[in-house]
Structure 1
Amino acid sequence: MNEQQAIDRAEQIIHQAVDAMSPKPTLERTGPETVGPCIARDDHGPDDRRQVTLFYKLTGVPGSEARNLVLQARDAWLKQGYKYNSSDEKDMSGPFPWVSMRTEPDDFWMEGITGVLDRAKGEGIATLKVRSPCFLPPGKASSSADPAAFESQDADDPAARRALGHSSRIYDALRAASAPTGPGEGLSRVRGASGTAVHHTWSTQVLPEEERAPAVARARAYFEGAGWRVRPMPTSEGHPGVVAGHPEEHTVAQVVVSATGAVRVAVTTPVDGPESADA
C-alpha cells in the first residue's frame, strides 16, 4: 500500500458511512495532518513508515441528530462486513454513542464519536475517524535492527503486522506520547519451546504520577471492550499494570508502569497461528 492508496481507502470507508445518511450532513475535515509518522516503531532506528488518519465532523444538521448519525455510520459499516473493535452498549443506547470498528482483511480502524454540545438537551456533533495500517514511502526500506538483538522482519510478515497493529491500538487507548525507542525495545522474533513469536516492546514518555494509573485503566478498558481476557499485574514496587490475552490469536499484551514513571508496553503474538503459543 502507498500513501494515495491509503488515503483513497480511508475516504471510501468514510463515504460508506455517510453517503446514505439522513439527514444528509456536510463533511468538514478536521484534526491533524492527513499523513503522519507511524505511531508504532519497529526497531532501534528511526521509523520511516507513514500512516493516514482522517477526521471529519458531520456538520450542517441539528445537534439533536448527532446520535442518529453515529448509529447510522455503525450500521453502514456493519453492512460492509466490518467488525467491532469495541463498543459500550450503555454508550450506544445513550444520547452520545461511541463505536470503534475495523475493516477486514486490510485492517483500517475507524471510530464514530458523538461530541457533547449541550448535555441537557442531548445535542452533540458527530465525528468520524479512520486510521490506516502503517506503510513505507516509495523507495524506503525498513530500518534494520541490531542483529545481535533482533532477527530481521519482513514488512509484510503477518505476525509482525499483527503485533504492531495491537501496539497501535494500545497507544490510542493510553492517550500518552510515545518515547524514542530505547535499548531492548522494538520488534524482535523470539524462539521458545512453544514455538516462534514476534515480540514488540515500546514505552510512553515519563508521565506525571497522577496520570499513570488512569492510563493503565484506559488500556484495561480497551482490552475488556475488545474481548481480551484481562487480569491485573502490579509490579513488586506496587506500580499498576495489566496483562491481557487475545482469545483467538493467543496474542499476549502487557501494559505496566515502570520505575521511571513511563508506561511500558509489550505485545507477543505467535508466528504460526494460535496453536504455536498459549496465551
Structure 2
Amino acid sequence: MKLNCTISAAALLCMAVAVAACGTQQDGSGNGATKSKQATMDEQQASKRAEEVVRQAVDGMSPKPTLKRTGLRPLGACVASDDGGSDDRVQYRLTYQLTGVPGSKAKTLVRQARDAWVKLGYKFQSSDADWSDPFPSVSMRTEPDDFWMTALTGVVDRAKGDGLAAISVTSPCFAPSGGSTADSAALHRTHVDERAGHRALDHSSRIYDALQVRHAQAQVGDGISVYEDSEERYVHHAWSTQPLAEDETVRAMARAQTYFESAGWTVRHVPTGTGVPAIVARNAEDSSVAQIAPSSTGAVRVAVTTPVVPGETAVT
C-alpha cells in the first residue's frame, strides 16, 4: 500500500514538471524579458527564486505542512526547447510533498497555495482548478520572470477522499555552467533497473501505438533516467512525437485517452499553455504514471514513470 500511495503523488509530480516545462517558452507577450532572464540566470539564482515561490504558497497555510523534498533532479535538461535556444540549456526544478497534515486537508492546501499566488499577481497557465474535483490541481506562472509552478493533489485513498498535496516549481531555461548537467545525467543513468525499465518501455511502446504518430529524433532529456529519494526509486522514460497540426494533436490525444481507458488506467487532464490539455494516467497494476503533453512546437511529449520494486536486479 505504501508504494502505491507514494508513486501516485511523486509520479504525478514528475508529470507536473514536464507539463510546466512544455509551456515555459510559450508566452509571446513576455518573450523578450524571458530570454533576458535566461541569459543571466544561474543555478543558485534559480534555486533561490524557486524556493521563494514555494514559501510564498506554504508560509500562510493552515494546518501547517512539513515540506518533504522529492527525488527529482534539481537541475535537468531543458524540456521546453521551443524557442530556438541551444540544446544544452537547463532548467531548475524544485518539488515538495506537503506532509504532516491529514489527507482530508490536501485539497485545502492546494487552494491556499492558489490563493497566495493570486494575491501576488501570478497568472494562471490557462484556467483555475476545478474545485468540484476532490483531487484538484492548479498551474500558474510568475511575472515577469516566468517561473512555472503547479500545486496538485495525489490520490492516497480515493474512497475516503484522502490525498497528498504537493508543489513543483520549474525555472525558465538558462545556460548551464561547469558541465554539471552532463555529470548528473551520467550518475542517474548508470544504474537503471532492468525490470522497471522494461515496464516503462513497454508502456511507452503501447502509447506510441495508440497515438499513431511517428516519433521525433531523440532530444536532450529523452530516454531512460532514474529518480530517487530516501525511500523510493523510479524509472522515467521520455520521448516526443514529430510536430503535428492542432487537429492532428487533438485526434492523437483522443486515441491515447481511448487506449488508457480501455486498458484500465485512471485518467485525468492537466491544463497546458497550448489550449489542448495534457493527459495524466495511472496504471493500477504496477503504479506507473504516464503523461502526454502537447507543446508549442506541435510535438507531443510523452513520459512514463515506473516504480522500482525492491529486490529487483539493477543493471549497469
What TM-score do the two structures reach when normalised by structure 2? 0.47
Is 1:102–2:141 an aligned residue pair? Answer: yes
Is 1:18–2:54 an aligned residue pair? Answer: no
Which of 1 and 2 has higher RCO (CA within 8 Å, sep 6+)?
2
The 3-state SS of whatever aligns with 1:13 is: helix
Is 1:136–2:164 an aligned residue pair? Answer: no
Q: How does 1:1-279 map onto structure 2 within 5 Å?
A: 1-41=41-81, 47-87=87-127, 89=129, 91-138=130-177, 179-180=217-218, 204=240, 213-214=252-253, 226=273, 228=275, 253=296, 255=298
Shift of 1:138: 3.7
The 3-state SS of whatever aligns with 2:173 is: coil
The 3-state SS of whatever aligns with 1:111 is: strand
Conserved 8 A contact 1:36-1:52: yes
Q: Distance in 1 between matches of 2:72 and 2:158?
A: 27
Q: Distance in 2 between matches of 1:227 and 1:43?
A: 14
Shift of 1:134: 0.6
Conserved 8 A contact 1:87-1:98: no
The percent of aligned pairs where both chains have the same amino acid is: 56
Name the amino acid aligned to 1:180: A
Q: Distance in 1 between matches of 2:83 and 2:59?
A: 41
Q: Distance in 2 between matches of 1:70 and 1:43?
A: 31
Q: Distance in 2 between matches of 1:229 and 1:63?
A: 31
Conserved 8 A contact 2:240-2:299: no
Shift of 1:204: 1.2
The 3-state SS of whatever aligns with 1:11 is: helix
Q: Distance in 2 between matches of 1:111 and 1:178?
A: 27
The runs of 5 or more residues in structure 1 that have no matched partner are 141-173, 183-202, 207-211, 231-242, 245-252, 264-279
Shift of 1:213: 2.1
Name the amino acid aligned to 2:253: P
Write 1 or 2 for the structure with the bigger share of helix.
2
Q: Which structure has the bigger radius of gyration?
A: 1
The 3-state SS of whatever aligns with 2:131 is: helix
Structure 1 equivalent of residue 26 of structure 2: none
The 3-state SS of whatever aligns with 1:71 is: helix
Superposed CA RMSD: 3.9
Shift of 1:226: 4.7
Shift of 1:256: 6.3
Shift of 1:39: 1.3
Shift of 1:55: 0.8
Structure 2 equivalent of residue 187 of structure 1: none
Shift of 1:216: 8.2
Name the amino acid aligned to 2:156: L
The 3-state SS of whatever aligns with 1:104 is: coil
